[in-house]
Amino acid sequence: MFRFIGRRLLEAIPVMFIIITGTFFMQRFVPGGPFTQEKAVTPEVQRNLDAYYHLNDPLWKQYRDYLVGLTPKRFHPGELLNGLDLKAAFGVDFGPSFRYSNRTVNEIIADKLPVSLELGFWSLLVAMVVGMPLGIIAALRRNSWMDYLSSSVTMVGICVPTFVLGPLLVLFFGIRLGWFHASGWNDPSDRVLPCLTLGLVYAAYIGRLTRGGMLEVLQQDYIRTARAKGATEWRVIFRHAIRGGILPVVSFLGPAVANILTGSFVIETIFQIPGLGREFVTSAFNRDYTLVLGTVILYAGLIVLMNLLVDVAQVALNPKLKFE
């Protein structure tokens, strides 16, 4: 397992390098810059700003200096618990923000990332709690009204995007019933609508995958053998069938977590949540080079980590698979 993990981490290095390089140069080739405003600054001020942020250096030198700042210089992962300080933990420096004076990208990430992670955690929990029971019930009651109802609900969830479902939930539960706030991230109740919006969409996918996986497993010989031995239906399902039935769901969780994080861009904008996704959208409009790069690198690293965890979990659940 350790060789497998080490090999996957080594394979991630060229992937991250390509992502960093592509994002860096694509930003530079876009017209305008971080200090382009409706009212243009004087040439003297523009030159001073470029000199301060080293934007007047050759492009290759800017690229080299940025890679040097990203190179880990220490390894103290315990420092991450002290405010998600990437610089203290690994010596990674994403540089200063071009649009927020006296703030670094590391500070912005440490401030905004916990909000996005909390939103993603509760949304994923909603997706699992709603999606898996729907899929299991549909598989156990195949071709019954419960199966048709579950399949219809999941189909609606797949077809309705988050930017449509979110305003509908706000209109009904926030404005008409007044149960929840339409925006914000202050009270615990403010988590309900955005997490439901993001989680219900992925609950539909998880429900469909769970149904398909359970139907395939329930037809296997070892399930018939367990029933022939007199095992209760509850034991057959939760002791034998569900372990193999959720394998498609486990495979889906890696891309799902990535989609939940990227989908939070829309959710955080709709519900005015002060998370990293909303900050990423703002930084893209403001052409804040370093903040865009730092956010892209962070999300790419999280996606690589989640895919690795999913691969390990698949082998743990399925003895037929090996770490190869």
Residue 39 clears pLDDT 60, i.e. is over it: no
Q: What is the mean pLDDT of the chain?
A: 77
- Report the distance separating Cα 145 and Cα 92, nearest Å: 55
- Identity at 140, one-letter amino acid code: L
Residue-wise pLDDT tens digits, 122-141: 888 888 888 888 888 888 87
- Report the distance separating Cα 68 and Cα 56, nearest Å: 18
DSSP readout, 212-275?
Answer: HHHHHHHTSHHHHHHHHTT--HHHIIIIIIHHHHTHHHHHHHHHHHHHHHHHHHHHHHHTT--S
Domain count, the chain: 1
| Residues of the domain holding 215 | 107-317
pLDDT band at 30 (very low <50, low <70, confident <90, very high): confident
- Identity at 170, one-letter amino acid code: V
Residue 117 counted as domain residue:
yes
> Which residues lie below 8 Å from residue 108, measured CB to CB, with a gap of 6+?
97, 100, 276, 279, 291, 294
Q: Which residue has the tokens 């991250």?
A: 16
Residue-wise pLDDT tens digits, 55-86: 777 778 878 877 877 776 666 666 566 666 66
CA neighbor of 120 nearest in space, from 244, 268, 280, 224:
268
Residue 243 clears pLDDT 80, i.e. is over it: no
DSSP one-letter code for 40: P
Question: CATH code at 185?
Answer: 1.10.3720.10
Residue 153 counted as domain residue:
yes
Residue 307 counted as domain residue:
yes
- CB atoms < 10 A from the CB of 129, how many? 13
Residue 93 counted as domain residue:
no
Least trusted range by pLDDT, from 43-47, 86-90, 147-151, 286-290 = 86-90
Residue 13 counted as domain residue:
no
Residue-wise pLDDT tens digits, 87-107: 655 667 777 777 777 778 888
Residue 148 counted as domain residue:
yes
Burial (Cβ within 10 Å: 0-12, 13-18, ≥19) of residue 255 = middle
Residue 239 counted as domain residue:
yes
| Cβ atoms 275, 116 nearer than 8 A | yes
**Phi-psi category of residue 43: left, alpha or beta, with phi > 0 → left and psi -120 to 50 → alpha:** alpha
Residue 22 counted as domain residue:
no
